[in-house]
Amino acid sequence: MSDVAKWFEGRRTPFDLIERLFEGDVASGSIKVEEVVDGDALVVRAELPGIDPENDVDVSVVGGELRINAHREEKLEYKERGSYRSEFRYGSLSRTLPLPKGAREGDVTASYKDGVLEVRVPIPVQPAGTGTKIEVKRG
Evaluate whether residue 138 is within a structural domain. Answer: no
Evaluate whether residue 7 is within a structural domain. Answer: yes
pLDDT at 25: 41
Give me the number of domains the chain comprises. 1
Evaluate whether residue 47 is within a structural domain. Answer: yes
Indicate the pTM of the whole model: 0.64
Distance CA 110, CA 120 (A): 6
Evaluate whether residue 129 is within a structural domain. Answer: no
Evaluate whether residue 37 is within a structural domain. Answer: yes
Evaluate whether residue 24 is within a structural domain. Answer: yes
List the domain range (segments joined by +) for residue 68.
3-122
Instruction: Give 8-39 pLDDT, tens digit per residue.
Output: 555 555 555 555 555 444 445 689 999 999 99
Evaluate whether residue 53 is within a structural domain. Answer: yes
pLDDT at 42: 95
CA distances in angstroms from 58 to 44, 68, 119, listed in the order given: 14, 6, 12
Confidence band, pLDDT 50/70/90 cuts, at residue 78: confident
Distance CA 48, CA 88 (A): 17
Confidence band, pLDDT 50/70/90 cuts, at residue 4: low
Residue 37: Cβ within 10 Å count: 16
For 7-16, 34-43, 45-54, 112-121, which range has the lowest pLDDT when averaged over its residues?
7-16
Evaluate whether residue 133 is within a structural domain. Answer: no
What average pLDDT does the segment 36-56 reach? 92
> 21: alpha, beta or left, given left = phi > 0 and alpha = psi -120 to 50?
alpha
The CATH code of the domain that includes 47 is 2.60.40.790
Instruction: Give 90-101 pLDDT, tens digit per residue.
Output: 788 899 999 988
